[in-house]
Amino acid sequence: MKLGIVVSTWYWEDITSKMLELAVKKAKEHHVETEIVKVPGSHDIPLGAKRLLKKKDIDGVVTLGAVIQGKTYHDIVIMTALTKTLHELSLVFEKPVMLGVNGPRMTWEQAVERINRAGDVMEACIKWLQ
């Protein structure tokens, strides 16, 4: 089994690099190979996912990121577009695309608390394919 991981580098130092570490660790525990694509922000994740899904050796994709609430509804707009597009990619390519992007309406503290969810999302993708 080989899984793609698309990770946003927005909030890299404090959040998404740690999410990536946990996802890769979980994959290794299950002897699953990974291919990682880094993108600037969560809005950019679908293109990275699509590029991975086109590869014959990729069985599924795990997405990682954080969309934190600001003063506008930007976080809701991003998450709505992201989830809809990832869902559509999963159906088109007939491969699982797991949502490991936390948000919307999430505070910085909530985003940090949800870092560990990345391992759970990787495990869910692995179980889906077994």
* Residues labelled catalytic: 74
- E strand or H helix at 93: helix 74-93
Are 36 and 19 within 8 A, CB to CB? no
The partner residues of 5 in beta bridges, in order of sequence, read: 36, 62
Q: How many CA atoms lie within 13 A of 37 on its CB side?
A: 22
Query: DSSP code of 122?
Result: H
Are 68 and 11 within 8 A, CB to CB? yes
Are 5 and 24 within 8 A, CB to CB? yes
